[in-house]
Copies of this chain bind each other. A is one copy, B any other.
Amino acid sequence: MTYQELNHQIFQKQSYLCVGLDTDIRKIPSHLLTESDPVFAFNKAIIDATADVAVAYKPNIAFYEAQGPRGWESLQKTIEYIPRTIFTIADAKRGDIGNTSDLYARTFFDPTAAGLTFDSVTVAPYMGHDSVLPFLNYPGKWVILLALTSNPGSADFQRQSVDDQELFELVIGQAQIWADPEKLMFVVGATQAKELKRIREIAPKNFLLVPGVGAQGGSLADVSRYGLTPDGGLLVNASRSILYASSGPDFAERARNKAEILQREMATYLAGI
């Protein structure tokens, strides 16, 4: 999916909501456990209920991997089921030396490898340029690089001073040498909303993927105020607050309500840019 297509979708749906498909088999409604693939049955219902208010879906790969081969099958079915007009993110936080990163890129981008066709993958920057570049070789595919994450441990290294900037700022600066904003996003946690202003100065055009609104306590108003660009340029993720809004048979309806509340709030911020 192109930068223009993604921004177009944002204005069309009046939404920059990304639904995190962090589907935990221990948390899904019990009536689904009799299905042949409970994780896919849950995801299918969530996708059906939210596809008109979400512009992206982001399965966190850990939730699927922890189920072994069966989890990868649920992931394959889920990705195949998502309408191709909606952006997909493999939240995998991968990164390795070049020939190995190339295999991770094939895994998530090339359907003839692992049967998956994501639009993008999240990548960890610690190993530097040759761990990131292999993901950029796929036309129409995106890298979403970890910059400033939402967890307490982000202070340990990301916030350390390197010369006159913090490490996450160096990461953002370097990465912009590797790729243009047409295929490079950054992860910035919603709990770090006050830093978004500084980040927009060094990355004025890149999409920012912002997790941590909802369960982790970030504010959608703050994130939108500092993160939105005239183009859109923002994806805000919510996972648990949508997926587990109800543990009963009404889970999909309740998930949709939660997603729609976020979408309506987003529409007001889009009206203000």
Contact = CB atoms under 8 A, between A and B. Distances in A.
A100 interface: yes
The residue among A73, A153, A155 with the most chain B CB atoms within 10 A of its own CB is A153
A150 B68 contact: no
Given A66-B113, A128-B152, A96 B93 contact: yes
Contacts of A62: 94, 96, 100-101, 103-104, 107
Contact of A131 (B127, B151, B160, B162): B151
A103 B69 contact: no
A163 B149 CA distance: 22
Nearest to A24: B103
Given A93-B94, A161-B163, A167-B167, A127 B107 contact: no
13 contacts: A22-B100, A63-B103, A65-B103, A65-B107, A65-B114, A68-B72, A68-B114, A69-B73, A69-B76, A125-B157, A128-B156, A160-B163, A162-B167
Given A93-B94, A127-B153, A128-B152, 18 more contacts: A22-B100, A62-B94, A62-B101, A65-B107, A66-B103, A66-B107, A66-B114, A68-B76, A68-B113, A69-B73, A72-B72, A97-B151, A124-B127, A128-B153, A130-B153, A160-B162, A161-B163, A162-B167
